[in-house]
């Protein structure tokens, strides 16, 4: 796990003479002489320093990094290692409470109780992950023929510090002791099948090896023109001075997804430069594509723009979803980026495959924390050790995706059950109606269980009631049924009051466009507010409510389950009603339109309206609000919102039939 903390670079840069380069030389020779090798396993448990250096070498050589001990409970690991027949003795001690004269040369089984006592007293790592001690393995199940026996050794003190003396055990003589056949058989069931065969030859590693080429060289598209063609872009940008959303899409498609994405990324890059920023300022990226069959092609283009070299403080987190872009008049790729005007962020990027959570081998991170908001990458129901989708259908995938999200949240000392501001669940169209109902019940059950568990642990203060949004999409990466995307509030040390959906009715704002406050208005709104800091809201306009707004009574075309079209005049009225409700939420909680970080309008493709038709409707509604209220709402004529084409959306998995769904996130600048 790479934790890029604020401006600190934890990533390794190639340094001649560093021990990491010795490892590179060794593995380069392994790759040359044993081409079938494609992964490297390390024993990192909690040390970012160790693991990220292994990941750096693996990335340069095209290997997969395996770290199956990562973030495991060290007390349980120590017990498991001893229980599985690993006999290891200490050969170095360097921690409070460990005395070279007393504790060198002792087996871990003998020291276990004492190590746990030191953990309670001084907080040491019982597995020695912090360098508290080093060990030499004398016997284990992998040693099928013999064990090592130390005949003679000496203790050398490197430091006689009175608090934490440092000492090393130097073996002087040893021999191998054959194992009895019966003893070898006892542990045979614990040995992996590959370890039953004798290892191959030992190769000599020659120094000053010729460097192996990296598997993927970054390509700088910034010097490339957009094929000399003029493209019609739509750019939107929110007003927040600290963190703002920038969206870019084409109204004319190029020659396929890769070209469209390349063109859009070039435009976003040029926009960043015009603001004096670069990709290192980007916190989060929503990547929408029109065909998930071309995910690998999209990724190939993506990684040529967003690289570790361009983002030394951590690559952005990302969510990738297939949307009906072409059906609504867009090109085949559509990008939305969240940009910070500073680099004050913590980025969690785990590239190693482990039992902890799914790895992110490419240049996108599991989560990014910026100014109290944790933006988590889209999580699939992947089994972390195998990186395969869990079998059992949508509800099983959802459960695993939530477990993965919780593992990421725990790294920031929070929980998705208590700290989530908003929870977006992307649901594939391949999920049946009955399965959607199961998904919703499963989500509610898991959150309830998590909250009970947190209450047992005393974590009952400041529990947020997250906004829930289910979005129906054509497809997801790996043909997954479910992808979840949490946004969390990671509170600081100050006491804050939390306002949820049940508090403070929206009633203060003047009436605009003739809309008058009615009791049912609040039923359209979900909101989660941290006073003076964060305001999040989702406004859902179902077909029934749309009929009420447009006709003051139900209308058959709006409640029919079949595909239907919506007259433009009705959508214009709905756009104004959405803006009216959003303004009530913002104003009633002492926020302004200039505080908005994200504003999305999810529109189903079944309405048969294009983005080109929809953009002026919402823009005009916002402009009219600005004129009537004398508030600063827009950036001149530049839109502050994104239109996201979907198959459906709603606050419940069983009823993703909203005509319009609005998602807003604001933070005080």
pLDDT (tens digit, 9 = 90+) per residue, 111-132?
Answer: 999 999 999 999 999 999 888 9
pLDDT tens per residue, range 549-583: 887 645 545 545 555 567 889 999 999 999 999 99
Strands (DSSP E) found in 267-352: 282-289, 317-322, 333-340, 345-349
Over the stretch 495-519, which tens digit does the pLDDT of each residue have? 455 555 544 454 456 788 888 888 8
Give the CA count within 13 Å in the CB-facing half-sphere of 568.
Answer: 10
Q: What is the pLDDT of residue 370?
A: 92
Segment 464-498, tens digit of pLDDT: 888 999 999 999 999 999 999 999 999 765 445 55
User: What is the rounded average pLDDT of the residues 609-632?
Assistant: 92
Q: Name the pLDDT band for 7 (thresholds 50, 70, 90).
A: very low
Number of Cβ within a 10 Å radius of residue 69: 23
More confident residue, 624 or 560: 624
Q: Is residue 250 within 8 Å of residue 341, measured between CB atoms? A: no
Q: What is the per-residue pLDDT across 129-160, written as a single tens digit (0 to 9) for each?
A: 888 999 999 999 999 899 999 999 999 998 88
Query: Mapping DSSP to helix (H, G, I), strand (E, B) and coil, where does residue 349 land?
Result: strand
CA 333 to chain centre: 21
* CATH architecture of residue range(s) 74-178: Alpha-Beta Complex (3.90)
Q: What is the pLDDT of residue 538?
A: 96
What does the block give as tokens for 366? 């599991």
What are the residue ranges of CATH 3.90.1490.10 in the chain?
74-178
CATH architecture of 508-668: 2-Layer Sandwich (3.30)
Q: Which CATH architecture has domain 345-494?
A: 2-Layer Sandwich (3.30)
Bridge partners (DSSP) listed for residue 526: 538
Q: Is the pLDDT of residue 8 over 50?
A: no
- The DSSP bridge pattern shows strands 146-159 and 660-667 to be unpaired
Output the pLDDT for position 462: 64
Least confident of 55-64, 385-394, 569-578, 651-660: 55-64
C-alpha 230/C-alpha 557 separation (Å) is 41
> Which residue intervals of the chain bear CATH 3.30.1330.40?
230-343, 345-494, 508-668
Report residue 179's pLDDT band, with 50, 70 and 90 as the boundaries. confident
What local confidence, expressed as pLDDT, does residue 594 receive?
93
Q: Where are the beta strands (DSSP E) in 38-144?
A: 39-41, 64-66, 87-94, 133-139
Name the residue with higher pLDDT: 454 or 652: 652
**What pTM does this model have?**
0.78
- 456 — pLDDT class (breaks 50, 70, 90): low
Cβ neighbourhood burial of 448 (10 Å; 0-12, 13-18, 19+)? exposed
* Cα–Cα dist 548/574, whole Å: 10
Closest CA to 235 of 629, 566, 641: 641
Q: What is the CATH number of domain 230-343?
A: 3.30.1330.40
Whole-number Å distance between alpha carbons of 61 and 31:
8
Q: What is the pLDDT of residues 207-258, one digit of tens each?
A: 443 333 333 333 333 333 445 456 778 888 998 888 999 998 887 776 789 9
What rounded mean pLDDT belongs to the chain?
A: 84
What's the pLDDT score for residue 486?
A: 95
323-378 pLDDT, tens digit per residue, is 999 999 898 999 999 999 988 888 888 888 888 888 886 678 999 999 999 999 99
Region 660-665 average pLDDT? 96
Could you give the 3-state DSSP secondary structure of residue 432? coil
Q: What is the pLDDT of residue 203?
A: 44
Given a cut of 70, whether residue 590 has pLDDT beyond it is yes
* Higher per-residue confidence, 390 vs 555: 390
Between 86 and 46, whose confidence is greater? 86
CA atoms within 13 A on the CB side of 140: 15
């Amino acid at each position: 796990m790479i934790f890029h903390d604020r401006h600190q670079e934890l990533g390794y840069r190639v340094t001649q003479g560093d021990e990491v380069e010795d490892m590179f030389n060794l593995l380069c020779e392994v790759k040359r002489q044993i081409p079938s090798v494609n992964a490297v396993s390390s024993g990192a448990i909690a040390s970012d320093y160790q693991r990220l250096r292994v990941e750096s070498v693996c990335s340069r050589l095209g290997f997969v990094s395996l770290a199956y001990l990562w973030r495991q409970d060290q007390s349980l690991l120590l017990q498991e290692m001893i229980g599985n027949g690993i006999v290891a003795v200490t050969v170095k001690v360097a921690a409070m409470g460990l005395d070279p004269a007393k504790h060198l040369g002792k087996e871990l089984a003998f020291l276990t109780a004492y190590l746990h006592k030191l953990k309670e007293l001084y907080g040491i790592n019982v597995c020695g992950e912090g360098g508290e001690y080093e060990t030499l393995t004398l016997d284990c199940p992998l040693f099928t023929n013999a064990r090592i026996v130390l005949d003679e050794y000496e203790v050398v003190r490197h430091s006689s510090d009175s608090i934490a003396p440092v000492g090393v055990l130097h073996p002087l003589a040893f021999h191998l002791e054959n194992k009895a056949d019966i003893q070898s058989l006892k542990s045979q069931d614990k040995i992996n099948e590959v370890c039953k065969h004798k290892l191959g030859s030992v190769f000599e590693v020659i120094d000053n090896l010729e460097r192996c080429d990296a598997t993927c060289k970054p390509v700088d598209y910034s010097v490339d023109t957009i094929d000399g063609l003029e493209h019609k872009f739509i750019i939107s940008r929110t007003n927040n001075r600290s963190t703002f959303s920038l969206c870019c899409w084409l109204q004319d498609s190029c020659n396929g997804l890769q070209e469209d994405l390349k063109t859009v990324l070039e435009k976003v890059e040029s926009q960043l430069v015009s603001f004096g920023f670069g990709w290192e300022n980007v916190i989060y990226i929503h990547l929408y594509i029109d065909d998930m069959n071309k995910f690998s092609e999209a990724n190939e283009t993506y990684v040529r723009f967003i690289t570790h070299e361009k983002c030394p403080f951590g690559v952005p987190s990302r969510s990738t979803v297939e949307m009906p872009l072409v059906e609504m008049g867009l090109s085949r790729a559509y990008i939305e980026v969240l940009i910070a005007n500073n680099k004050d962020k913590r980025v969690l990027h785990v590239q190693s495959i482990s039992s902890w959570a799914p790895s992110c081998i490419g240049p996108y991170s599991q989560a990014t924390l910026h100014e109290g908001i944790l933006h988590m990458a889209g999580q699939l129901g992947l089994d972390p050790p195998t990186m395969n989708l869990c079998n059992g259908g949508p509800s099983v995938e959802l459960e695993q995706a939530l477990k993965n999200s919780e593992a990421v949240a725990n790294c920031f000392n929070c929980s998705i059950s208590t700290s989530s501001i908003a929870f977006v669940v992307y649901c594939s169209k391949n999920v049946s109606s009955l399965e959607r109902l199961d998904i919703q019940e499963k989500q509610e059950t898991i959150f309830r269980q998590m909250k009970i568990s947190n209450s047992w642990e005393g974590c009952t203060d400041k529990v947020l009631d997250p906004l829930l949004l289910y979005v129906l999409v054509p497809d997801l990466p790996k043909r997954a049924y479910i992808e979840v995307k949490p946004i969390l509030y990671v509170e600081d040390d100050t006491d804050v009051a939390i306002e949820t959906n049940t508090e403070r009715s929206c009633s203060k704002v003047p009436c605009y466009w003739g809309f008058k406050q009615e009791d049912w208005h609040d039923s359209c709104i979900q909101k989660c507010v941290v006073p003076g800091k964060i305001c999040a809201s989702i406004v859902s306009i179902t077909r029934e409510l749309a009929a009420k707004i447009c006709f003051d009574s139900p209308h058959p075309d709006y409640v029919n389950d079949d595909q239907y079209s919506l007259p433009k005049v009705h959508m214009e009225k709905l756009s104004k009603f959405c803006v009216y409700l959003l303004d009530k939420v913002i104003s009633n909680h002492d926020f302004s339109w200039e505080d908005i970080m994200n504003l999305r309008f999810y529109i189903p493709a079944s309405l048969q309206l294009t983005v080109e038709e929809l953009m002026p409707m919402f823009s005009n509604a916002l402009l009219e609000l600005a004129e009537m209220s004398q508030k600063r709402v827009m950036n001149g004529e530049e839109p502050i919102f994104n239109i996201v084409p979907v198959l459906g959306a709603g606050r419940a998995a069983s009823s993703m039939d909203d005509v319009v769904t609005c998602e807003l996130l604001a933070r005080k600048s």
